[in-house]
Amino acid sequence: MHTTRRRCFTTPAALAMSSILGGCAWLPTSDDTPRARSCTNAVVDEKFSGPAGALIRGVPYFRTLQQALDAVPDQHAHGVWRIAIRKGRYREKLEIRKSNVHLIGEERESTFISFDAYAGQTRPSGVGTWTTYGCATLTVRAPGFAASSLTIENSFDYLSNDAKSPTDPSYTNDPQAVALMLASGSDKAVLRNVSMTGYQDTLFVDAGRSYFRDCCVSGNVDFIFGAGQAVFEACEIVSRPRRKPNVAPHGYVTAPSTQLQERHGLLFLHCKLIRENAQVPANSHALGRPWHPAVTFPDGRYADPNAVGSSVFIECFMDDHIAEVGWWSMTGLQKSGPTRTVFLPEDSRFFEYRSHGPGASKPGNVKRRQLSSADAARYTLADVFSDWKP
């Protein structure tokens, strides 16, 4: 038995949140076209043809998100700057460097921020490649970011590349393609009713604290990863297919690089782990593997020994595409010599509690460590976020 889904969809709980963030919403007009409430600071509409920043009903309008972000003033630092986004597909590669910017989409299924950069792609300047750290469609480098009712996607054609032979001149060995990156400087990010779509490395939560509610994250290889402290509550985690023949496992849901001094990394509460379609086989996707990124130390550059990843699943539904073994190993750059170090999942902080569904652990499976009720009770929003209440 499995749950087949072709794409992320809006749950009833998410519908209640649709187009709402911080008390602001899209309101209908007499001609059934929505308009932003007065608490909106700017509107982005791909059909807008006037000059950037022209006022309509007292609100500045822009055709692109970049124009709207460029117009965010510095002096709002202790308030919130809300940008309402009309339905459309905005092909833009964006960075948010100002605090407390909120993006409010008109509808998750029809409001897209999309770009197709990938790690191995040459930068527009012709110097170097994007790398995993630079290829994101949307990168956040400031605190207080929030988003609702929209989709952030990396549209790189991963499957076509995956089907190619490595000897094909057009093949890339660096197909990582990030949709959303929460980078250094990001903290207290909140996403509600947002889809993040890609294949390898979809969501890079590399810094700060973040909260995802009623969201959907889809991908195949390491598609939720990084060193940040992130809580996913009532979210859909959708595994997507591969085209490369004879690859096992097909994918990994998480690849945390949590620093050892941090008590928490990636925490999933009451989420659904499902497959996108029947092309995702049973027993094909691991819950995660330990990522030890290469770091430059005084004695050389090698896999960070302090990146002891944490991925914890609490009372989550798991379809049968989840691998029976649960977790997988991962290699990292060795301190000396050309060989790579193998990092084992049992040396990381990988746990489950009351998983259910066809992909849940069977009795006696020692590979999938289970939390006690007392231990599970300590995985709360308050424990992860301390003084912050998202």
- Tokens in use for 171? 């093949």
Beta-bridge mates of residue 55: 60
Task: Report the candidate in 199, 209, 23 with the shortest Cα–Cα distance to residue 102.
Answer: 23
Q: Could you give the residue numbers annotated as active site?
A: 201, 222
Residue 63 in contact with residue 78, Cβ under 8 Å?
no
**Residues with pLDDT less than 50, the chain:** 1-6, 11-23, 27-32
- Provide CB contacts within 8 A for 386, sequence distance 6+: none
- Provide CB contacts within 8 A for 176, sequence distance 6+: 118, 119, 132, 135, 200, 201
146-194: pLDDT as tens digits: 999 999 999 999 999 999 999 999 999 999 999 999 999 999 999 999 9
pLDDT, position 384: 95
Pairing of strands 20-21, 180-182: unpaired
Go through the chain and tell me how many residues it has.
390
d(CA 114, CA 93): 7
Task: Report the candidate in 309, 298, 320, 386 with the shortest Cα–Cα distance to residue 349.
Answer: 309
Measured over the CA atoms of residue 232, residue 77, residue 386 and residue 289, the dihedral's sign is positive
d(CA 53, CA 236): 37
d(CA 168, CA 340): 26
- Provide CB contacts within 8 A for 169, sequence distance 6+: none
Residue 25 in contact with residue 19, Cβ under 8 Å?
yes
